[in-house]
Amino acid sequence: MDSRSPIRRRPLRGRTATACSECQRRKKKCNRQWPCDHCQNRKISHLCEFGPHKGARQPVESEASSMNDSQQTIEPLVSDTQSPLSLEDCCSAVNELSYVDSDVFRVLQASATIQPTTKPTKALSIPNHVLQALRTVPPRPYTDSLVKNFFNLVNYHYCILHQPHFMTQYTKWWSTRPELRGSPSCSDISFTCLVLRICSNSTQFLTPSDIHRFESELGESVSVLGANYNTTAQTLSDYLPSGSGGLSNAQQLFLAATWSKSEGDFVSSWHQLAAAVRHAQEIGSSRLIHKHSSQESSITTFWTGIHNDSSSDEMTEIERELRRRLWCALWTWDRFMVGIFNRAAIIQSNEPIPLPNPKLDQTLDDPEIPSIVLTKVLENQLTSQLYDDSQKDADLDAKLALVENFIDRLPCVFRLKGADERWDTKHPRLVVQRLQLHTACYMAQMILLRPTVLDIERCDPDRLSYIIDLSLKCMDVSRKLFDACVPQHAKYFMVTFAPFDNASFLSSIIIKAGRKRQVPRRIEVIAAIGQAIYMCNKLREFTKLGATTWTILKALASKLKLDASEKTDLQQIGQMGNASSSTGSSFPELGIAHEEPLVHQPGSMSDLVDIPQSDWGVWGPLEPPAQVDLGILDGMWDWNGLGLGDMGSN
């Protein structure tokens, strides 16, 4: 062979990385799990990423696709005098029509690659009022304090953000402050919105010392500061074009809903939840762009929103994880609104996506401590099972058994009985999360059982006793949640809503039963109603929802037929919160079975009396029902059937 002839070498194959980026950088052995052990130990799970080496081969176009491209010709449907539409224009038109993963238009994918429809880095021409809103972020020392407080006391209620990942972005955001240059991009504005939403949510959960500091140094009450931050964020959010801003925009829309819910504005919260869902469904939506190079092409669907859990190689593991966390929270909350408030489902599909990974927040030093996201994963699992298509035709007992089985299999830290409490002192959020999860389990059962007692006269006695026992247990957990959360977490909506919902349910049983039906455990039912009135009365100091629910419970109590001693007991508990009767003996502990007769009735039906609306002592005068703004609570109960027809909307 001629020595001058070139030697032909086979092209080298690209190697797939066998370690995450951090282990490669530090030359450590990686266990190839996400997050890997080394990243978990160093508390940099958000930096743990896997991907091919730079020399990896590009994917080869399939033989079938190449054959189709070589054989298929498409006759133009335009005249010779018109310029035919390019593939880019066709795909853009399909995208503008909002087709979602349509099989009809997949033929356009054969010779195209995917590019995002949104351009988050595009600078916008910003009007002055928006620029002014961008500059109203609190000075950094106060913003840092609010962000720190958010991750310490607020984020674990919903778990849509991961602190290390957010702090990386937050530090970079402060170093650039693009709004000072007058040309911020959509992503810059959406992240500023997210920071402001975090600040507004954080003001609802400040410690007393922080409240004093902010009010004395900034000259405004924390409630006014929170409202201002939220209003400013809304100004920026309204300016963003639809579908822009990426994941941070969906996150800030979600936090807008949580802020409104904590303020008792459930209607605004529901609409903001819908906006967050719609934006989340658009994240990753794609249009097909023709590539002149035949060596590079890819095929995907037209719509790869957050709910589809796209497995794009361009998406990092931490971004995919944050998408899953957000969608988990959105889906669970939407189903809660369906079950409790009879609202139409915003998310129509029950198709599940992979749940968040709790390992992201754990360290190998103490792996037994539950991740902050674990309760959200458990709530989502329970809700998914109840709303699964296979449960549509299941009878009531089967669904109740499903919930009971779920409760029996809770992790030891969250068990109903004999929970492992050894980490409670070091991690107080476990106490709140445990009680929150117990409340959610009881309320899931109550949602299933509530329709069975609408016709109280025909309700099976055993079923009625079971429902009342369940409601009393839920009220007991609600009081523990109240004691654990007030005053600092008083604005967390479940603290107010859980006792109110149970007391409304128990009041409706007594009202509907009237003189025709005995109510099991009547003395405990009255004590539970009094406890709820007491809790809502205390919560009036902190939230509008407390004032609204307190007014409703007073109106319901005025419709109860009680004898003189029951009336005295109800008023005493409602004022003082302690479960002691007018005879000096203590009421049984709520939710616990007792040896005394389960049915307590007045000596005679003639002893039953109404509680006048004016006879409420320190509870204050009852507002006229027509003045009560029920908002979304209007859809919860049959107020006409309870004799409160003027309370709801006309």
Q: pLDDT band for position 33 (50/70/90)? A: confident
Contact 552, 633 (CB under 8 A): yes
Q: How is residue 180 annotated by DSSP?
A: G
The pair of structure tokens assigned to 148 is 């720190």
Lowest mean pLDDT segment, chosen from 67-81, 202-216, 245-259, 288-302: 288-302
pLDDT above 80 (res 52): no
Q: In this predicted structure, what is the pLDDT of residue 58?
A: 45
In a domain, 209, yes or no: yes
Distance CA 333, CA 423 (A): 28
In a domain, 542, yes or no: yes
Q: In this predicted structure, what is the pLDDT of residue 608?
A: 39
Whether 360 and 315 map to the same domain: the answer is: no
Lowest mean pLDDT segment, chosen from 120-124, 223-227, 598-602, 607-611: 598-602
pLDDT above 60 (res 83): no
Whether 321 and 375 map to the same domain: the answer is: no
Whether 361 and 252 map to the same domain: the answer is: no
Q: In this predicted structure, what is the pLDDT of residue 444?
A: 92
Nearest-5° angle of CA 55, CA 56, CA 62?
140
Q: In this predicted structure, what is the pLDDT of residue 617?
A: 36
Contact 563, 607 (CB under 8 A): yes
40-44, 57-61, 92-96, 139-143, range with greatest mean pLDDT: 139-143
Q: Which residue has the higher pLDDT, 56 or 249?
A: 249
Residue range 588-646, pLDDT digits in tens:
444 444 333 333 333 333 343 343 444 433 344 444 343 444 444 554 455 555 555 55
Q: pLDDT band for position 286 (50/70/90)? A: very low
Q: In this predicted structure, what is the pLDDT of residue 373?
A: 93
pLDDT above 60 (res 101): no
Q: Which residue has the higher pLDDT, 287 or 58?
A: 58
Contact 294, 280 (CB under 8 A): no
**Residue 511: alpha-carbon gap to chain centroid:** 34
Q: Which residue has the higher pLDDT, 314 or 378?
A: 378
Contact 117, 243 (CB under 8 A): yes
Average pLDDT, rounded, for the chain? 77
pLDDT above 70 (res 194): yes
In a domain, 471, yes or no: yes
Whether 475 and 427 map to the same domain: the answer is: yes
Q: pLDDT band for position 501 (50/70/90)? A: very high
Whether 460 and 546 map to the same domain: the answer is: yes
pLDDT above 70 (res 200): yes
Distance CA 285, CA 243 (A): 9
The reported pTM is 0.76
Lowest mean pLDDT segment, chosen from 137-151, 223-237, 631-645: 631-645
Q: In this predicted structure, what is the pLDDT of residue 612?
A: 43
Contact 502, 478 (CB under 8 A): yes
Whether 193 and 145 map to the same domain: the answer is: yes
57-66, 203-212, 590-599, range with greatest mean pLDDT: 203-212
Contact 343, 632 (CB under 8 A): yes
pLDDT above 70 (res 216): yes
Question: Which whole number is the average pLDDT over 102-112?
Answer: 49
Among residues 7, 28, 53, which one ends one of the domains?
53
The count of domains in the chain is 3
In a domain, 580, yes or no: yes
pLDDT above 60 (res 463): yes
Q: How is residue 119 annotated by DSSP?
A: -
DSSP 346-375: S-------PPP-GGGG--TTSTTSPPTTHH
Contact 134, 236 (CB under 8 A): yes
**Residue 509: alpha-carbon gap to chain centroid:** 31
Whether 318 and 230 map to the same domain: the answer is: yes
Contact 503, 553 (CB under 8 A): yes
Contact 57, 313 (CB under 8 A): no
In a domain, 78, yes or no: no
**Residue 36: alpha-carbon gap to chain centroid:** 28
> Exposure of 530 by Cβ count < 10 A (0-12 exposed, 13-18 middle, 19+ buried)?
buried
Q: In this predicted structure, what is the pLDDT of residue 243?
A: 80
Q: pLDDT band for position 516 (50/70/90)? A: low
In a domain, 69, yes or no: no
Contact 540, 563 (CB under 8 A): no
In a domain, 295, yes or no: no
Whether 313 and 390 map to the same domain: the answer is: no
Residue range 562-597, pLDDT digits in tens:
888 999 999 899 888 765 444 444 444 444 443 333
Residue range 420-449, pLDDT digits in tens:
999 999 999 999 999 999 999 999 999 898
Question: Which whole number is the average pLDDT over 80-87?
Answer: 54
Helix (H/G/I), strand (E/B), else coil: 458:
coil
In a domain, 292, yes or no: no
Amino acid at 94: V
CA torsion sign for 317, 347, 245, 99 is positive
Q: pLDDT band for position 402 (50/70/90)? A: very high
Domain that holds residue 23: 16-53
Whether 322 and 408 map to the same domain: the answer is: no
Whether 472 and 533 map to the same domain: the answer is: yes
> Exposure of 366 by Cβ count < 10 A (0-12 exposed, 13-18 middle, 19+ buried)?
exposed
Q: In this predicted structure, what is the pLDDT of residue 98?
A: 53
Q: Which residues contact 122 (CB under 8 A, 6 or more apart)?
A: 185, 186
Closest by alpha carbon to 489, among 551, 433, 547, 554?
433
Q: Which residue has the higher pLDDT, 630 or 188?
A: 188
Q: pLDDT band for position 148 (50/70/90)? A: very high
Q: In this predicted structure, what is the pLDDT of residue 605?
A: 33
Q: pLDDT band for position 331 (50/70/90)? A: very high
Whether 29 and 135 map to the same domain: the answer is: no
Lowest mean pLDDT segment, chosen from 2-6, 323-327, 364-368, 589-593: 589-593
Give me the percent of the chain exceeding a pLDDT of 70: 69
Distance CA 159, CA 326 (A): 8
Q: In this predicted structure, what is the pLDDT of residue 317?
A: 86
Whether 451 and 569 map to the same domain: the answer is: yes
Q: Which residue has the higher pLDDT, 364 or 111?
A: 364
